[in-house]
Chain A
Amino acid sequence: MRLYLVGLIFCVITVLTFIIGLNKDPKKIPSNLINTTIPDFKLDHIGNGINNFNKTDLLEIDDVKIVNVFASWCPPCKIEHSQISKLSEQHFIFGINQKDKKNDLLNWLNKLGNPYQAIGSDTKGRASINWGVYGIPETFILDKHSKIRYKHVGPIMQRDLEEIKNIISVLENED
C-alpha cells in the first residue's frame, strides 16, 4: 500500500514537471554572472577614431550601462541595431565586437550608424567567455556599481524594448 503511494507521488511529480515544462523554453539559459561585478576582460583597439574600453572604464561610470556583444557577420545583430540605437539615445552602450574583420565592422557602422560609446574588439572570443557569452547577440545591463543585473540573449526586438527600459529605470532609481 505504502509502496503504491510512493509510486503515485512519483507519477504526480513527473506529470507536474511535464506540465510546467511545456510552458517553458528549454533554450533559455540564465546567466551565471547575474549580481556579480563585471568580470576581467581585455579588448583590442580598433582604431579609426573608435574608443576602446576596459574594466576600469566601466567601473568609473556611476550610472546604468549596457554592454552589447555583436558582430557584423551576425544577421540578428543587424536586426537589433535600430533598438540598440534607440537605447543609446539615453544610456551608455559599450560594444564588444566578436571575431570581426576591421573593414567589415567599419562598413557595417558606416552603413547603420554607430550607437556605441566605445567598441573593443574581441578577436579570439576570450573576453566573450569571461562574460559568459555563448551566442551573439547578447546584451548585459549593469547597475551603477557595475554589477551585472540582467542579460538578454538573442536580438532585442521592438517588443523587448519596453521590458528593457523598465529594468533600466528601476536600476537608475537605486542608490
Chain B
Amino acid sequence: MKINQILILFLLFNFTNVMSIEPDEILKDAQLEQRAREISSVLRCMVCQNENIDNSNAGIARDLRILIREELVAGKTNSQIINFVHGKYGDYVLFKPPLKFYTLFLWISPFVIFFFLFLLFFRKNKID
C-alpha cells in the first residue's frame, strides 16, 4: 500500500522542475500570445489537482503550452486547437464542460434553481 502511494506521488509530480509559463515559451507576437493565454486558461492540467495549464509546473502542461503556440503560429484558430486537445484527452481536459446530454442540466441549472426558488417564494405569498 505504502509503496503504491509513493508511486502515485512520483507519477503526479512528474519530476520535471518547470515553474508554470517560462520566458522562452512566450511568443513575440503579443496578439498571438494573448490568444494562447485564452486557450490555456480553459484547459485543465490532467495530472495536477485543479489547475489550468498556464499555472501548472507539470511537464504535460508545458508540452501543451508549446503545442498551442506552435499551432497558433501555423495559423490554426482557437477552437481548432481546443478541439484537437479535447479530442486527445476527452471532456476532462476542458474546464468549461461541452454541451452534451449529460452536461445539459449543469448548464441550465442556474435558470432551474432561480425559477424553483421564485416559485417557492411567491407560492407562499399567495396563501393569504
Taking beta carbons and an 8 Å cutoff, which residues of A are in contact with B?
A: 3, 6, 27, 29-33, 39, 73-76, 79, 99, 124-126, 128-136, 153-155, 157
Contacts and interface: CB of A to CB of B under 8 A. Distances in A.
Given A29-B90, A134-B60, A76 B11 contact: yes
B47 interface: yes
A32 B89 contact: yes
Contacts of A31: 90
Contacts of A125: 59-60, 63
5 contacts: A74-B15, A129-B63, A132-B88, A135-B12, A154-B11
Contact of B60 (A30, A75, A135): A135
A128 B16 CA distance: 15
B10 A6 contact: no
Interface residues of B, number: 30
A128 B58 CA distance: 14
Given A29-B90, A33-B88, A74-B10, A99 B64 contact: no
A3, A32, A124 interface centre (most CB from chain B within 10 Å)? A32
Nearest to A80: B7
B59 A99 contact: yes
A153 B67 CA distance: 22
Given A75-B10, A134-B47, A135-B11, A32 B63 contact: no
Contacts of B64: 129
A154 B8 contact: yes
A62 to B, nearest CB: 26
Q: Majority SS of interface residues in chain B?
A: helix
A105 to B, nearest CB: 16
A79, A129, A134, A155 interface centre (most CB from chain B within 10 Å)? A134
Interface in B1-27: 4, 7-8, 10-12, 14-16
Interface of B: 4, 7-8, 10-12, 14-16, 46-47, 58-60, 63-64, 66-67, 85-92, 116, 119-120, 123
B67 A3 contact: no
A134 B92 CA distance: 12
Contact of B92 (A3, A29, A157): A29
Contacts of A135: 11-12, 14, 46-47, 58, 60
Given A33-B88, A125-B59, A6 B116 contact: yes
Contacts of A33: 88
B56 to A, nearest CB: 11
A3 B90 contact: no
